Structure 1
Amino acid sequence: MRSGLLKWVAVALTGALAAPVAAQDSDPIAEYRAMFGDDNPAIFWEMRGEELWKTARGPKNADLSGCDLGLGKGVVAGAYAQLPRYFKDADRVQDLESRIVWCAQTLQGIAPAELLKIRFGNGDDQRSDMEALTAYAVSLSKGRKMAVPFDHPKEKAAYETGRAIFFYRAGPHDFSCSTCHAASGKRIRLQALPNLTDPADARTAYTSWPAYRISQGELRTMEWRLNDCFRQQRLPDLEYGSDAAIALTMFLARNAEGGELTAPALKR
């Protein structure tokens, strides 16, 4: 399947690159996405994630059915639409990925280092349990609207920290997240850049992650997307599940308030 998808994309992009530059109104990315219709290889990550979720594992030989993602123990449906949020048991704001790591450690006895040994898959033989678990949990919120809690002081502090990081310029190119994502109408080659400070753009962009990236043959999570943004800014890797990663996610999730979740989506 993967080789066929990549071959199709190569043909699609070749045609797009050969088109006249003046044809700015067409969107080749949207066109090939539409051709896939409802077919999305992300379903294989969702299926594996569901199996991992319901399988007893770790030193405690337990599954994740008792994991509280914010809506009560065992309630997965709709939970992603209300994350990140403050969790009293952890006494911190957590996003989906950090909460799954926390649940695996407390319920199953799986050390975070073990679960995160492979943070991101390589589209081939290297598979990440976290990407699969995330895909499964997110899929059960598809169609729900973003409604992230914002009452606890730590939730508000996370948002402000995330906003500060978003606009912080650093690295050899003096870039920030806002360099690419704080103005409307920007593009990099064929790729339109959403203005993540604009509610409409933020809703469309945030709610489509995680997503299956055809060009990589891999499902990518929000943690991967933020880390890739840091890579493009030539900054050090963003620590998985760190306060910085959670704060940035909180900033983006709050900006996407009211947006309908379409993730896991399909991207170039």
Structure 2
Amino acid sequence: MRRTSMMLAGAAGLAVAAFALAQDQSDEIAKYREMLAGDNPAELWEMKGEELWKAKAGPRQATLEACDLGKGPGVLKGAYAELPRYFKDTNKVMDLEQRLMYCRMTLQGLTEEQATAAHFGSTDKPSDIEPMVAYITAQSRGIKMNVPMNHPQEKRAYELGKQLFYYRGGSHDFACATCHSGDKMRIRMQDLPNLTKTKDAQAAYTTWPAYRVSQGEVRTMQHRLADCFRQQRFPEPMYGSEAITALTMFLARNANGGVYNGPALKR
């Protein structure tokens, strides 16, 4: 009995020590991010994105400066802070990447395949989409999230996104909620935000897109969600799908009131 008690006490001590070590490492990572924040490589993507936004391209040799992201043609300031939203011209709710695809097709004359080519870039195959997303989102830096939910389709998208968030499936029987609906959850050294709570949702959502140090690329919300589905062992969602837009709507709306601060810097 005494030996068992000693073993239990030892295990408890190790658990406490492990938690303290993880917390220390988490604090150090936060300090590292803060130190590098002033030299975020995402700025290079932003600059490239501005060039692409203003460059004539496609069969129509047109720029994207007339693209309406919800606040009027060509208005970028604050636009991302109000996305996803309902667009009358398409009669559906669209997120930023879906809307950007639409503008490239309608303004520049690209096909859907051309407008979504290399949506996730790599060293040997850079993306045009990720820089443009970085440029557009940067124009909302310092602005509070204010995603609308007035139109019936916006409400429908939110509810669908909520269902997807809690839907369990895949070989591991996981859902988004498995990792992101509890407090003080962690995987390895990574804190997992509770995305059902306003404070956590605000802190998490307002920092995407982000430059991933481990990948050497700016990654958008579409990439973040696609990677989450991969980790859950779900089939890869189609880029620009309405399902991803709905899930984004759920997360973005939950983050309302948070000050947008992206593109950020992440591990």
User: Does TM, normalized by the shorter one, top 0.5?
Assistant: yes
5 Å-filtered alignment, 1:23-34, equals: 23-26=21-24, 27-34=27-34
Query: Following TM superposition, by how much is the alpha carbon of 1:37 offset from its aligned partner in structure 2, in angstroms?
Result: 3.5
5 Å-filtered alignment, 1:187-198, equals: 187-198=186-197
Unpaired stretches in structure 2, ≥5 consecutive residues: 1-16
- For 1:142 and 1:112, the matched residues in 2 are separated by 29
Q: Which residue of 1 aligns with 2:48?
A: 48
- For 2:34 and 2:220, the matched residues in 1 are separated by 22
- For 1:106 and 1:261, the matched residues in 2 are separated by 29
**1:141-184 Cα shifts (integer Å, max 9, x gaps):** 00000001111000000000000000000001100000000001
- For 2:112 and 2:266, the matched residues in 1 are separated by 29
5 Å-filtered alignment, 1:130-145, equals: 130-145=129-144
Q: Which residue of 1 aligns with 2:238?
A: 239
Query: Following TM superposition, by how much is the alpha carbon of 1:39 offset from its aligned partner in structure 2, in angstroms?
Result: 0.9
**1:116-153 Cα shifts (integer Å, max 9, x gaps):** 2211012x121111101100100000000000111100
- How many corresponding residue pairs? 248
Please say if residues 158 and 251 of structure 1, whose CA atoms lie closer than 8 Å, have aligned partners that are also in contact.
Answer: yes
Runs of 4+ in 1 over 4 A off after TM superposition: none
Paired residue type of 1:196: L
Query: Following TM superposition, by how much is the alpha carbon of 1:112 offset from its aligned partner in structure 2, in angstroms?
Result: 1.9
- For 1:102 and 1:37, the matched residues in 2 are separated by 32
Please say if residues 87 and 93 of structure 1, whose CA atoms lie closer than 8 Å, have aligned partners that are also in contact.
Answer: yes
Query: Following TM superposition, by how much is the alpha carbon of 1:106 offset from its aligned partner in structure 2, in angstroms?
Result: 0.4
- For 2:37 and 2:167, the matched residues in 1 are separated by 38
Please say if residues 115 and 129 of structure 1, whose CA atoms lie closer than 8 Å, have aligned partners that are also in contact.
Answer: no
Q: Which residue of 2 aligns with 1:8?
A: none
Report the 3-state secondary structure (helix = DSSP H, G, I; strand = E; otherwise coil) of the residue aligned with 2:218.
strand
Structure 1-normalised TM-score? 0.91
**1:197-229 Cα shifts (integer Å, max 9, x gaps):** 010000000000000010111100000000000
Report the 3-state secondary structure (helix = DSSP H, G, I; strand = E; otherwise coil) of the residue aligned with 2:21.
coil
Report the 3-state secondary structure (helix = DSSP H, G, I; strand = E; otherwise coil) of the residue aligned with 1:72.
coil
Structure with higher helix content: 2
Query: Following TM superposition, by how much is the alpha carbon of 1:58 offset from its aligned partner in structure 2, in angstroms?
Result: 0.4
Unpaired stretches in structure 1, ≥5 consecutive residues: 1-19
Q: Which residue of 2 aligns with 1:10?
A: none
Looking at CA atoms only, which structure, 1 or 2, has the larger radius of gyration? 2
Identity of aligned residues (%): 57
**1:9-28 Cα shifts (integer Å, max 9, x gaps):** xxxxxxxxxxx733344223
Report the 3-state secondary structure (helix = DSSP H, G, I; strand = E; otherwise coil) of the residue aligned with 2:43.
helix
Deviates more, 1:25-34 or 1:148-157: 25-34
Paired residue type of 2:95: D
Please say if residues 199 and 255 of structure 2, whose CA atoms lie closer than 8 Å, have aligned partners that are also in contact.
Answer: yes
Report the 3-state secondary structure (helix = DSSP H, G, I; strand = E; otherwise coil) of the residue aligned with 1:38.
helix
Query: Following TM superposition, by how much is the alpha carbon of 1:238 offset from its aligned partner in structure 2, in angstroms?
Result: 1.1
Paired residue type of 1:114: Q
Report the 3-state secondary structure (helix = DSSP H, G, I; strand = E; otherwise coil) of the residue aligned with 1:201.
helix
- For 2:192 and 2:198, the matched residues in 1 are separated by 14
Q: Which residue of 1 aligns with 2:11?
A: none
Paired residue type of 2:158: Y
5 Å-filtered alignment, 1:126-165, equals: 126-165=125-164
